């Protein structure tokens, strides 16, 4: 079974669209289990060891890493009900994501549209604000270049913050 097949199977298990889970893995590691960020994030889904421990998975094992990362996506989507905010929380942590796009770090403002693009999903138009109470937003999209869109992201301490918030919630 390929890495992409394992991601698709985990996505089906947790009710996450496979295109989203595959796009996150592509952005995070390029589907590379051997990837380790400078901050210590590990594997295909770039889980920090503390986040992995909170999820009860071994980040060094590909199957376990994928299971934990996709399960985290499902948990975050359950909280936000919106894939853009879910991706922001996966990248910047739930606290930052919940503060809205204007509070997101520049990296996250590039990461969210990158993953949505990889997933073949529409990216919100930054010039068109959405009505209040909707799950989308306007006016936040940073200026990213085509070369930035192809670069993997490392989540570093961001997943640790996500795990702490999830554990305390």
Topology at the third CATH level for domain 3-168: Lysozyme (1.10.530)
Which among 119, 89, 96 is positioned nearest to 23, based on CA atoms? 119
Report yes or no: 154 and 38 within 8 Å, Cβ to Cβ: yes
User: What average pLDDT values come out for the chain (169 residues) when binned by 10 residues?
Assistant: 97 97 97 92 94 95 98 95 92 86 89 94 64 37 32 40 49
Residue 28: how many other CB atoms lie within 10 Å: 27
Q: Which of 4, 35, 31 is nearest to 18 (CA)?
A: 4
Closest to 111 measured CA to CA, from 153, 77, 158: 153
Q: Which residues are catalytic?
A: 28
What are the structural domain ranges in the chain? 3-168
Cα separation, 21 vs 161, in Å, equals 20
What pTM value is reported for the model?
A: 0.74
């Amino acid at each position: 079974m390929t890495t992409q097949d394992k991601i698709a199977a985990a996505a089906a298990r947790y009710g996450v669209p496979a295109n989203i889970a595959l796009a996150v893995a592509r952005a995070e590691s390029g589907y590379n289990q051997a990837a380790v960020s400078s901050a210590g994030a590990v594997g295909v889904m770039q889980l920090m060891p503390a986040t992995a421990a909170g999820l009860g998975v071994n980040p060094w094992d590909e199957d376990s890493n994928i299971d934990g990362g996709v399960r985290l996506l499902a948990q975050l989507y359950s909280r936000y009900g919106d894939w853009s905010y879910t991706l922001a929380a996966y990248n910047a942590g739930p606290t930052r994501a919940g503060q809205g796009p204007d509070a997101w770090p520049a990296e996250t403002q590039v990461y969210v549209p990158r993953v949505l693009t990889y997933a073949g999903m529409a990216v919100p138009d930054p010039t068109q604000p959405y009505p209040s109470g909707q799950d989308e937003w306007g006016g936040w999209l940073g200026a990213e270049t085509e070369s930035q869109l192809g670069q993997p992201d490392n989540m570093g301490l961001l997943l640790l913050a996500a795990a702490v918030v999830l554990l305390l919630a």
